[in-house]
Amino acid sequence: MTAKPWLSQYPPEIPHNLSYESKPVQEYLTRANQEYPEKVAIHFLGRDMTYRELYESSLKFANYLRSLGIQTGDRVAIMLPNCPQNVIGYYGILYAGGIVVQTNPLYTEREIAYQMKDSGAKAILSLDILYPRISKVVKETSLENVIITGIKDYLPFPKNLVYPFIQKKQYGFSVKVEHSGTNHLFTEVLKIGKAEKIDVPFDFEEDVAILQYTGGTTGFPKGVMLSHKNLIANASMCDAWLYQSKKGEGTILGILPFFHVYGMTTVLILSVMLGNRMVLLPKFDAETALKTIDKQKPTLFPGAPTIYIGLLNHPDIAKYDLSSITACLSGSAPLPIEVQEKFERITGGKLVEGYGLTESSPVTHANFVWAKNRVKGSVGVPWPDTDAAIFQVDSTEPLPAGEIGEICVRGPQIMKGYWNRPDETENTLRDGWLLTGDLGYMNEKGYFFVVDRKKDMIIAGGFNIYPREIEEVLYEHPAIQECVVAGIPDPYRGETVKAYIVLKEGENVSEEDLNTFCREHLAAFKVPRFYEFKKELPKTAVGKILRRTLIEEEKEKNKEAIATS
């Protein structure tokens, strides 16, 4: 076991080690129903659902799945935005003994087909508007049943009557699915299913609860096998970290999509574990989010930097009361320091950066929320029961404090492995350590700093250049709303630095201005050689900027230039 200097930084309220209940994830819903049956579990666009309703609906869904032939260990996909049906489906699949396969609703037919074939999912729960995409690929997958719902199904009157017309105007078409054969309507499912517990065998250590697919920014997405123990451990760690939050009293804002592991753990599981209320939004829209915070008064707000940036740059933010927010854990991408400081000034709450991966359920590190010893620019320290170290790249040789290497972690939240990929599992899990692929260093007090992804490091003229360092400088410029830095091919230097910039509304700045600004803060070899101004940057559904997409676009431009020269 490595030395753990970070433990001396822990405030007294956070234990170094935790004990975990050996129960499946869904049993936290069983307990919430016993303790808070009439308490609101979900608020969704004006409609409330109690824990009793959520519990009974989940059991009904579970029993219907069993009537369709779903057995213990079978995979069932959910392809929905954040809505009550997603929560019911998630817990219902687990009650049935199944394994949840969360699927991005933005996926194309090709991506849906790949994930369904790779996971071997036997059924899918999805939106009516997505049915045409699913129906085109069903025959090339192992899907046997398609269960369809609509946003309107859980809207209050009269929104439920108006929404279909809004949807038709938005998408240009409407979809009608009949409840027959292998197609099933969610509303009918809950009428038919019985609200009875199902006795399924359970192994806390070994049983997989979900297949959470990686983003697929490099190669094909991989199914990460997360066990019940992995998920319960990470949610319990989160609960310990947020020690000022009171069980049964908090409200968690669910903007992060549940098909992203961070949203799933910090909203979908943690809310139920604590008996809190989750306020769900099906997509991020800055104005809707501000109105929701103002009215619903969430206390916890897990998010991503682009979400906080979007709120801060809304012209009417001053009109809304955001003071209910006590804590925000930011993940999925680096959090610019200026964004953190401005958000804390406006809300009065705490916004801290954390770190993790899909393969770690996801959180392994975070800054302290209420303790004073937060460190700017750091992703914080390892969570309870979590060990971390900096290893030499592609080895398990530890490096001393201050030296850059690969961040490696181990703990009860680390995945069992990749679904049907033993070779890749072996390459990623070594001697109990998860090799993250992220470069960073640890200081003498045990705080960790992420420098960049191994694959994102730029080597220009023999120098190692880390995009994150340049991005931090660019974010300090008052005209810049968003930015990303990437290495592009260069015939002389091998690679050179290019910055992609989104300016704040009404701002104007030249390449020369940015070049002068960067030279004041960076060594000459790190200063971007090229700048490209864009209206928006390509992002994942959770708001992570897709640097690889921009690099691929750059490569295509080079090919075209060579072809026409």
Peptide bond between residue 158 and the one before it cis (omega within 30 degrees of 0): yes
Partners of 328 in the beta sheet?
351
pLDDT at residue 1 in the model:
42
Q: Where are the alpha helices (DSSP H) in 144-206?
A: 159-171, 186-192
The pLDDT tens digits for 116-153 are 999 999 999 999 999 999 999 999 999 999 999 999 99
Report how far residue 530's alpha carbon sits from residue 1's, in angstroms, rounded to the nearest whole number.
46
Closest CA to 88 of 29, 172, 128, 131: 29
What is the chain's pLDDT, residue by residue, as a tens digit (565 residues)? 458 999 999 999 999 999 999 999 999 999 999 999 999 999 999 999 999 999 999 999 999 999 999 999 999 999 999 999 999 999 999 999 999 999 989 888 988 999 999 999 999 999 999 999 999 999 999 999 999 999 999 998 888 888 777 787 777 777 889 999 999 999 999 999 999 999 999 999 899 999 999 864 445 789 999 999 999 999 999 999 999 998 899 999 999 999 989 999 999 999 999 999 999 999 999 999 999 999 999 999 999 888 998 999 999 999 999 999 999 999 877 788 889 999 999 999 999 999 999 999 999 999 999 998 889 889 999 999 999 999 998 777 899 999 999 999 999 999 999 999 999 999 999 999 999 988 899 999 999 998 877 778 787 876 778 788 899 899 999 999 999 999 988 876 778 999 999 999 999 999 999 999 999 988 888 999 999 999 999 988 777 888 888 988 887 887 776 666 5
Sign, CA torsion 366/86/230/361:
negative
Report how far residue 28's alpha carbon sits from residue 33's, in angstroms, rounded to the nearest whole number.
9
Partners of 327 in the beta sheet?
300, 350
Q: Which domains does the chain have, with CATH numbers?
A: 50-202 (3.40.50.980), 457-564 (3.30.300.30)
Report how far residue 108's alpha carbon sits from residue 16's, in angstroms, rounded to the nearest whole number.
44
Closest CA to 262 of 311, 214, 209: 214
Q: How many CB atoms lie within 10 A of CB 227?
A: 24
3-state SS assignment for residue 319: helix
